[in-house]
């Protein structure tokens, strides 16, 4: 069988042909849809110079409890609750960072126009970066997809398409924030109102001058910005939020999380995410240090700031980056990230399966403690912290997957997940850039279906689907250059077919390519001997792997199945690689997977 490298030219040619056919079909659809509005478009082409979005506000979405009739978001008298927005931390004029983009919630009191119904308006937007970010919702009763254009400072123009989910029916898994009520003139309704942040690719080499909104009046735009490219930073560590479980509750406690860097650099910044939350969370103080042993630091932890302040409040669904800190971070080292939670915190966004012991303090702010004395509790998950970036470097490779990527059954505290081994290989060579490796595996995760619905306190920690978390966990990661996908066995275990799975994988590839990423796919590991891995499942796994090996949508294939299977029983792992449950590789199997990766594919 031809190697992925030798097939690359043929794959790209096949992919180009197929995309050309798809593109022709899309053009036909667009022609059909544009003809009825051609005169309207011509009218908009002749409009005046672009204006700031707030000067174009023509719809009122927010009302307060005392006067719910003052707003009519959807044309039927319903609106968002000002009180609910305040409770979520979404106050007028508040800057919100979501998916790495900073957007400002409209600085309007309830009852005044606060959003634009998209009707081809030209919006003045300045900035240079890899994406446009829209804070939007649809009032059409369904997800709404529409297209517009971007004008750059050099006069060039490109098009974009975005999908805005409906504010009352859209997927909770992808929302930025969900509010507990919908206001109506006759009183509040106890149903979720949703708002979404949607990003679309931009040319990072050019400066944006203006954005023409789509012709879709049921698409409401509250804010719009350019997401700055993360030049000068490389992702050194990351973890995906797998749920929003009950914790503690924590009041006046310090968490000291242990994380392992894939690369190092002369500066550092941290990212905290309040994903899936309904209320803000406050970080009272934060520090970083290199671990000595356990909760003890090698030296006095160094304080971090947030916008110059020692503390930060993170609104529901938003994130906070610490200010850049000039402090050397070693590669392949364990860091102690400590942060004080004044609290009370009764639920928090968490990555459940850390395979790493972290620590919880006695009451008090112990972020500056070098000693371990105050850290008497042990944590087996990573709450709130989702990223560690280092200054400089060539960028990162993101791995999205399930428990096999998450390191389930690997040795605790030893950093023997296969992405850790891959990072060690990259550090030890010079043939390709020494990329950071970001592990976005979630135990139990599926490509197609959400295990956690994406809202509310969760009892399931397997996260939202790969398709629903792709933008947050891959596209928005720091300086991502390439992605690796190893996921799908949980879909087959849930009874989905190989055809359904591979359609989902193909969508991941197409979306990643639209962002300019190189994306690789890995074959599914054998699991014979695990009770659920029946002969019927093996048939579907074999079919999925046949598609993966011959596909023309990904840029390369990592044959992990071949790396770990028993030649005498190809439906099973080699006993030396099996953790004992016949589904998850042990340390030796995970190392064999990482050692089989052709680094030049990255």
Q: What is the band of 45 on the pLDDT scale with cuts at 50, 70, 90?
A: very low
Query: Distance between alpha carbon 159 and the CA centroid of its chain, in Å?
Result: 24
Residue 536 CB neighbours (<10 A):
10
Pairing of the two strands 253-260 and 334-341: antiparallel
High-pLDDT (> 70) share of the chain, %? 92
Residue 20 CA from chain centroid, whole number? 29
CA distance 306 to 271: 10
Q: What is the pLDDT of residue 4?
A: 36
**pLDDT for residue 32 is more than 70:** no
Residue-wise pLDDT tens digits, 317-374: 999 999 999 999 999 999 999 999 999 999 999 999 999 999 999 999 999 999 999 9
Domain 394-602, CATH: 3.40.50.1110
Residues 574-581: what's their mean pLDDT?
Answer: 98
- Residues 287-302 have a mean pLDDT of 98
Write the pLDDT tens digit of every residue in 226-283.
Answer: 999 888 999 999 999 999 999 999 999 999 999 999 999 999 999 999 999 999 999 9
Output the CA–CA distances (angstroms, integers) from residue 339 to 275, 316, 366, 466, 474, in the order listed: 17, 18, 8, 29, 25
**Is residue 107's pLDDT more than 80?**
yes
pLDDT tens-place string over residues 543-571:
999 999 999 999 999 999 999 999 999 99
Segments of 361-477 assigned E as strands: 377-379, 382-383, 385-391, 396-401, 436-441
Max CA separation in the chain (angstroms) = 73
Domain ranges within the chain, ordered by starting residue: 4-43, 50-228, 242-391, 394-602
Q: What is the DSSP letter of 37?
A: G
CA dihedral 33, 38, 43, 48 (to 10 degrees): 60
Helix (H) or strand (E) holding 521: strand 518-522
Q: If pLDDT is split at 50, 70 and 90, which confidence band does 114 have?
A: very high
Answer whether residue 122 shows pLDDT above 80. Answer: yes
- Number of Cβ within 10 Å of residue 225's Cβ equals 24
Tell me the C-alpha distance between 253 and 259, whole Å. Answer: 19
Nearest residue to 168 (alpha-carbon basis) of 187, 183, 150: 183
CA distance 123 to 490: 44
Token reading at 499 = 């055809």
Q: What pLDDT sits at residue 48? A: 67
Q: What pLDDT, on the 0 to 100 scale, is given for residue 593?
A: 98
Q: Helix, strand or coil for residue 526?
A: coil
Percentage above 90 pLDDT, the chain: 92
User: Which of the residue ranges 32-46, 170-184, 190-204, 574-588 would you say has the lowest mean pLDDT?
Assistant: 32-46
Q: What are the residue ranges of helices labelled H in 434-586?
A: 466-470, 489-493, 498-514, 535-550, 560-564
Q: What would the two tokens of residue 525 be? A: 């590991």
- Secondary structure (3-state) at 180: coil
Give residue 47's pLDDT.
Answer: 52
Of 334, 335, 339, the C-alpha closest to 383 is 339
Instruction: Report the candidate in 496, 487, 437 with the shortest Cα–Cα distance to residue 462.
Output: 487
Strand partners, 148: 160
Q: What is the mean pLDDT of residues 54-72?
A: 97
pTM of the model: 0.91
pLDDT at 594 over 90: yes
Q: Do residues 288 and 336 touch, judged by C-beta distance below 8 A?
A: yes
């Amino acid at each position: 069988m031809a190697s992925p490298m030798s097939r690359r030219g043929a794959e790209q040619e096949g992919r180009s042909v197929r995309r050309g056919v798809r593109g022709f079909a899309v053009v036909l659809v667009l022609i059909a849809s544009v003809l009825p509005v051609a005169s309207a478009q011509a009218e908009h082409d002749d409009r005046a110079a672009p204006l700031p979005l707030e000067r174009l506000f023509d719809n009122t979405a927010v009302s307060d409890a005392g006067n719910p009739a003052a707003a009519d978001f959807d044309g039927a008298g319903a609106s968002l609750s000002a009180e609910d927005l305040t409770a979520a931390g979404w106050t007028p004029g508040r800057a919100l960072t979501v998916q790495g983009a900073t957007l400002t919630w409209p600085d309007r009191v309830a009852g005044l126009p606060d959003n634009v119904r998209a009707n081809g308006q030209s919006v003045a937007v300045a900035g240079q970066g890899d994406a446009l970010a829209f804070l939007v919702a649809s009032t059409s009763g369904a997800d709404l997809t529409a297209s517009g254009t971007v004008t750059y400072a050099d006069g060039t123009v490109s098009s974009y398409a975005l999908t805005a989910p409906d504010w009352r029916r859209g997927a909770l898994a992808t929302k930025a924030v969900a509010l507990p009520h919908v206001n109506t003139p006759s009183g509040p309704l106890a149903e979720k109102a949703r708002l979404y942040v949607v990003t679309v690719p931009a040319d990072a080499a050019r400066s944006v001058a203006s954005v023409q909104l789509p012709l879709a009046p049921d698409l409401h735009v509250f804010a719009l910005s350019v997401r700055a490219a993360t030049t000068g930073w490389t992702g050194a560590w990351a973890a995906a939020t797998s749920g929003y479980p009950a914790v503690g509750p924590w009041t006046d406690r310090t968490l000291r999380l242990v994380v392992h860097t894939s690369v190092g650099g002369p500066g550092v910044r941290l990212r905290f995410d309040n994903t899936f939350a309904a209320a803000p969370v406050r970080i009272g103080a934060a520090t970083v240090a290199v671990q000595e042993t356990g909760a003890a630091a090698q030296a006095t932890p160094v304080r971090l700031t947030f916008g110059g302040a020692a503390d930060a409040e993170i609104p529901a669904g938003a994130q906070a980056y610490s200010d850049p800190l000039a402090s050397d971070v070693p590669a392949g080292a364990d860091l102690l990230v400590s942060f004080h939670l004044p609290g009370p915190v009764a639920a928090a966004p968490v990555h459940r399966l850390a395979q790493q012991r972290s620590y919880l303090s006695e009451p008090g702010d112990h972020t500056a403690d070098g000693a371990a004395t105050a850290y008497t509790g042990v944590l087996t998950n990573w709450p709130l912290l989702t990223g560690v970036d280092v200054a400089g470097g060539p960028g990162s490779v993101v791995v999205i997957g399930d428990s096999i990527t998450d390191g389930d059954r690997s040795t605790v505290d030893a950093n023997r997940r296969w992405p850790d081994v891959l990072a060690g290989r990259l550090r030890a060579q010079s043939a390709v850039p020494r990329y950071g490796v970001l592990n976005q595996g979630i135990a139990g995760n599926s490509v197609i279906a959400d295990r956690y619905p994406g809202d509310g306190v969760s009892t399931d920690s397997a996260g939202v689907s790969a398709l629903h978390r792709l933008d947050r966990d891959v596209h928005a990661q720091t300086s991502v250059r390439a992605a690796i996908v190893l996921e799908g066995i949980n879909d087959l275990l849930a009874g989905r077919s190989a055809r359904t799975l591979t359609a989902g994988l193909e969508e991941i590839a197409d979306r990643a390519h639209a962002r300019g990423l190189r994306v690789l796919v890995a074959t599914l590991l054998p699991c014979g001997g695990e009770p659920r891995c029946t002969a019927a499942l093996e048939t579907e796994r074999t079919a999925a792997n046949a598609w993966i090996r011959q596909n023309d949508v990904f840029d390369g294939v990592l044959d992990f199945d071949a790396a770990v299977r028993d030649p005498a029983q190809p439906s099973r792992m080699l006993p030396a690689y099996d953790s004992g449950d016949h589904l998850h590789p042990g340390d030796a199997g995970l190392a064999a997977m990482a050692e089989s990766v052709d680094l030049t594919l990255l």
